[in-house]
Structure 1
Amino acid sequence: MSNQIDPTVDPYGYIGIARNPDGSITRIFDFFAKTSACSNDDSIPVLTKDIPVNESSGTWIRVFVPRKVLDSTTKSKMPLIVYYHGGGFVLGSAAGTLCYEFCTKIAVEIQAVIVSPEYRLAPEHRLPAAYDDSMEALQWIKTTSDEWLTNYADFSKCYLMGSSAGGNIAYHVGLRSVTCVDHLSPLKIQGLMLHQPFFGGIQRTQSELRLANDKIFPPCVADVMWELALPIDFDRDHEYCNPTVGIKSELLAKIKGQGWKILVTGCEGDPLIDRQIQLVNVLKEKGLRVAGEFSDGGFHGYEFHDSSKAKILFGVLKNFLTIS
């Protein structure tokens, strides 16, 4: 985010957007610089490629596979992680540099195949467009004949993961997916990994009040993103934003029945931490297998900028994947 703009004074300018009179936005500059897929560079540990999903909506997926697996004479299948990028539903891309570097490191550290879907952004495409696109990507994965996926991804060990808004997407796509597990076969979801997931609500939490002037992701910036992302005329107590309102008990019961594992990570320096802890508590009350990993200090998205913290996170993810 911009260091020249006070987010509590100009939250729109802080995230690099301008609101137009007709309700649309202009993205003045993009914090999430993009990178091209690469499948022929001998110096990189992970190869990537982009594949169209829905040409009419402009969606596609980026696949990440560790080079040493592709170079091996034996076909070794690895867990499949479907990773949704962050950006408050308004910014970002599966081609973003942060997303590229993060997914590359996950693929190397965990030894997994990563598929990162590109989804349409708000306010041009308000929620549930991102959820719709993300579900469509799962349908594409299950039917694909792409050799990188059919040869190296273990479809029976699929996990949905996302950071920030992507964590929100992983949660809601999980709720949708559990109603159609038979239709997703041979794709079998085993769990959700919600990395600093983006949730909100009308009533401020203690962490939001404590970090009201946070310079990274203050509540006023989150409010703008929800204003742009939620269906028109709905507030932050909509179920897309606040998972503690209108709890989908029947869907959570299905998730419990499927035996899915759920991981929620966060840190004390993130205004969203109380929302994340609330979700963990709700899921535990419903009897789900959920683990909350919350650290001291930090800030929203700090693992993208601190390699030592990222290393710790990757260890948490690896342990989560190996727990039966």
Structure 2
Amino acid sequence: MSGAGEGEAEDISTVDNYQRLQIAPNPDGTITRLAKFPESPPTSDPKLPTPVLSKDIPINESKNTWVRIYLPRHALDHSSSSKLPLVVFYHGGGFILFSAASTIFHDYCVGFATDVPVIIASVEYRLAPEHRLPAAYEDATEALHWIKTTPDDWLRDHADLSNTFLMGISAGGNIAYHAALHADVDRLHPLKIHGLILQQPFFSGTQRSGSELRLANNPAFPLSCSDLMWDLSLPIGASRDHEYCNPTVGDGCKKLDRMAVGWRVLVTGWDGDPLIDRQIEVAKMLEENGVHVVCHFAEGGYHGVDIIDASKAEALFVVVKNFIFSQSAS
């Protein structure tokens, strides 16, 4: 598995990282998730005083994948000619934690759908290590094909499938990136991807970046926790220079042609995130391969701050709104 990079800061012990993440390894390679993160049910009754309605719909029952759709209430008053952009959202959690129902992501999607406004399809994908990568990518692309064919009235009547964006935070940003690379866009019609929104996307590599060294023991997201998440998520025996983890190595660049044809990519990050140099590196790689990239790297934040600090989330919603609707107008 991935080893320590030369010259990196001393890591916290592996046992401490399991404790920090509140997981326990099992002999069969699975993990027990000790923390019970709060979850929120969907709210589909239009009589309830909520700005955003939500409901869950199965995608693949054999995989227990599903999607939570968020519909701004005011969309119900619009005619079908005033459809909203669709954002397909992938939650974070290092590929191993959380759910589309987790309160922290549910509340984030409610605020996002309200402020931007958009219709959101938040995907419940399979978690590692029980389902190592590329399982999450397969679920992400299967969700796109489900969306294009579903008879669901909220998506049919109120979502503009021809104006779709893939978005994710942290590991979800990684999933959005790889879903875009793996999706057969010619077979998604009438769903048309216009761009990606990569919010603090989760990438790494065996050679440590400057921010990884500088912020190795960052309390919000220590580098050793990141390494453990990759160890639990990558295919058995793969290093952090696998293309799933490090898109700048190998044949990763050869798959970017589809992004260069009319797509735009928004990459966001914070200076207190050990991953920021990785995010900047990926943005630069995309630009060098002809992709239209919009960067928003800010000071005073850390990994995951956007879903914890409401003021940071609201500021980001403004950035994303400008990105989505300038894209729509172009």
Secondary structure at 1:310's aligned position in 2?
A: helix
1:222 paired with 2:226, answer yes
Residues 47-104 of structure 1, C-alpha deviation per residue, up to 9 Å, x if partnerless?
Answer: 000000101111110000001212x163331000000000000001011111101111
Post-superposition offset of 1:8: 2.5
Residues 13-48 of structure 1, C-alpha deviation per residue, up to 9 Å, x if partnerless?
Answer: 101101123322111113x32111111252210000
Match in the other structure for 1:118: 124
Post-superposition offset of 1:127: 0.3
Match in the other structure for 1:129: 135
1:240 paired with 2:241, answer no
Q: Which runs of 5+ in 2 are unaligned?
A: 1-10
Q: Which of residues 135, 159, 181 is equivalent to 1:153? A: 159
Q: Which of residues 67, 74, 80 is equivalent to 2:79? A: 74
Secondary structure at 1:160's aligned position in 2?
A: strand
Asked if the contact 2:243–2:252 (Cα under 8 Å) also holds between the matched residues in 1, the reply is: no
1:183 paired with 2:187, answer yes
Alpha-carbon separation, structure 1, partners of 2:48 and 2:32: 39
1:266 paired with 2:269, answer yes
Alignment of 1:301-312 (within 5 A): 301-312=304-315
Decide which moves more: 168-177 or 18-27. 18-27
For the aligned residues, what is the CA RMSD?
1.2
One-letter code aligned to 1:108: T
Post-superposition offset of 1:251: 2.2
1:201 paired with 2:205, answer yes
Post-superposition offset of 1:171: 0.2
Decide which moves more: 85-94 or 16-25. 16-25
Q: Which of residues 298, 303, 328 is equivalent to 1:300? A: 303
Alpha-carbon separation, structure 1, partners of 2:283 and 2:166: 17
Secondary structure at 1:174's aligned position in 2?
A: helix
Match in the other structure for 2:170: 164
Match in the other structure for 1:44: 50
Alpha-carbon separation, structure 1, partners of 2:288 and 2:78: 48
Q: Which of residues 239, 252, 259 is equivalent to 2:256? A: 252
Post-superposition offset of 1:312: 1.1
Alpha-carbon separation, structure 2, partners of 1:73 and 1:125: 41
1:281 paired with 2:269, answer no
Match in the other structure for 2:3: none
Alpha-carbon separation, structure 2, partners of 1:83 and 1:292: 19
TM-score normalised by the chain length of structure 2: 0.92
Secondary structure at 1:140's aligned position in 2?
A: helix
Q: Which of residues 300, 313, 317 is equivalent to 1:314? A: 317
Q: Which runs of 5+ in 1 are unaligned?
A: 1-6
One-letter code aligned to 2:133: L
Asked if the contact 2:92–2:169 (Cα under 8 Å) also holds between the matched residues in 1, the reply is: yes
TM-score normalised by the chain length of structure 1: 0.94
One-letter code aligned to 2:199: H
Aligned residues: 313
1:213 paired with 2:244, answer no
One-letter code aligned to 1:279: V
Alpha-carbon separation, structure 2, partners of 1:227 and 1:301: 20
Match in the other structure for 1:35: 40
Alpha-carbon separation, structure 2, partners of 1:28 and 1:299: 25
Alpha-carbon separation, structure 2, partners of 1:23 and 1:115: 31
